Structure 1
Amino acid sequence: MGEVINGAEKKYFIKWFLEKYELQNREAEWLLQYIASNDHILERVHFIDNFKNLPKTILISTKCVQMTPFKFYKNRRVTSDVEKAFLDIHNNPHEDIYIGLFFKDRSVSPEYAAVLETNPQEEAKETDALVSLQAELILDQAVKIYRLSKLYEQIDRALDARDKEQFLKLTNELKQIEELG
């Protein structure tokens, strides 16, 4: 994840969120208050939009949206029991917790944007794709440099041999390569 969001920022956001929105599941509000009251757990909390392939995820919805009120995912197991989520968080405070919140205007909320992080699984895929693209560009450049080097050698040989036809053919090929960039 790019920028690290500290516990104080997360605590402020949770308090703002609970003051502004009414949750579909009242126990979920209690769980968020518990999380906000524990600095160690807050450091392990990550607010995310894309929650695929994560080990421990909580999804919470407000009354102003039509989504499931509460879901807790851990290692491909799913429950809507807030107490099970609480017990897991309480018993495993060293584990990261990814929270997805669904509320009206979340896509334009500066408060939410301030604590929103990217899914580390997606970030890793993006990094892998970027590294792969960079490697491909470097390889393409190396092939081009090698091809130009060989072409210059052939042009020199054509000049030495006074082979006008070969010289024209090779210089046209050189122009085409240079035009492609």
Structure 2
Amino acid sequence: MKKWVSAVEKRNFIKWFLDNHRLKRNEARMLLEFILKNHHILENIRFTEQIKPNEKTIVISSLNSDEPGFEFYYNKRKTDDVSTALGELMANPSAKVNMIVYFYGKSMNHRYLQLIEIPALDNIKRHEKHQKYSKEVDLVIEKAMLEKERQTLRHRIDLALDELNESLFKKLVVELKELEKKIESIAE
């Protein structure tokens, strides 16, 4: 379940980030400015919190972060050379690129939180949806089973009438009434 974020939102965040934070690596600033100038590259940027070694991932940090200033992961390799990342972006402008940005207060920054994909949150939402569907399916199955039981009781009542068995008839009618109350309570 991918979260779609517009290029305008990404651009606004990157501009805000560059305006409000000093980066550990000045070349990383140039890379972000290059991304801002190229709309088609910006559209393919995805903000995330996890390094994905099989995918292109750019990691950029501000001065007040404990993380490395710049890292680029591509083809199961890692480099701290900004020019390599810039070359990859220029050579493959339509390729998807993950970006991780480290700065003080990012966990509470609404601009940043709106951009990132949070797998744990997506998993929780998916689980809640699954639970809801599971309950609905259980309800449908229970209704079907009770309806089948109702049909069986009606058939047995008809047989009791055919055999003129009054005691069995009364017993089955009581069971049928209880079953119909149960069906009504489920329908609510």
Q: Does 1:150 align with 2:148?
A: yes
Q: What is aligned with 1:103?
A: 103
Identity percentage of aligned residues: 30
Determine if contact 1:154/1:170 at 8 Å carries over to the other structure.
Answer: no
Cα distance in 2 for partners of 1:86, 1:175 equals 70
Structure with the greater alpha carbon radius of gyration = 2
Residue 13 of structure 1 deviates from its aligned partner by 2.2
Question: Counterpart of 2:72 in 1: which secondary structure?
Answer: strand
Cα distance in 1 for residues equivalent to 2:52 and 2:185: 44
SS at match of 1:27: helix
Query: How far 1:37 moved relative to its partner?
Result: 1.8
- 1:141 partnered with 2:166: no
Cα displacement string for residues 83-106 of structure 1 (whole angstroms, at most 9, x for unaligned residues): 211111111001111211111111
What residue is the counterpart of 2:17 in the other structure?
17
- TM-score normalised by length of structure 1: 0.75
Structure 1 runs not aligned, ≥5 long = none
CA contact (8 A) 2:44 2:94 kept: yes
2:65 and 2:111 mapped to 1: Cα distance? 18
Letter in 2 for 1:23: L
2:27 corresponding residue in structure 1? 27
Q: State the superposition RMSD in angstroms.
A: 3.4
Q: Which residue of 2 aligns with 1:118?
A: 117
1:42-91 per-position Cα deviation (integer Å, ceiling 9, x unaligned): 12222223454762211111111212322212243322222211111111
Q: Secondary structure at the match of 1:72?
A: strand
Stretches of 4+ aligned residues off by more than 4 angstroms = 50-54, 125-135, 164-181
Q: Which residue of 2 aligns with 1:4?
A: 5
1:41 maps to 41
With structure 2 as the length reference, what TM-score do the two structures score?
A: 0.72
Greater relative contact order structure (CA < 8 Å, 6+ sep) = 1
Match in the other structure for 1:80: 80
Question: Runs of 5+ in structure 2 lacking a partner?
Answer: 161-165
2:143–2:183: 8 Å Cα contact kept in structure 1? no
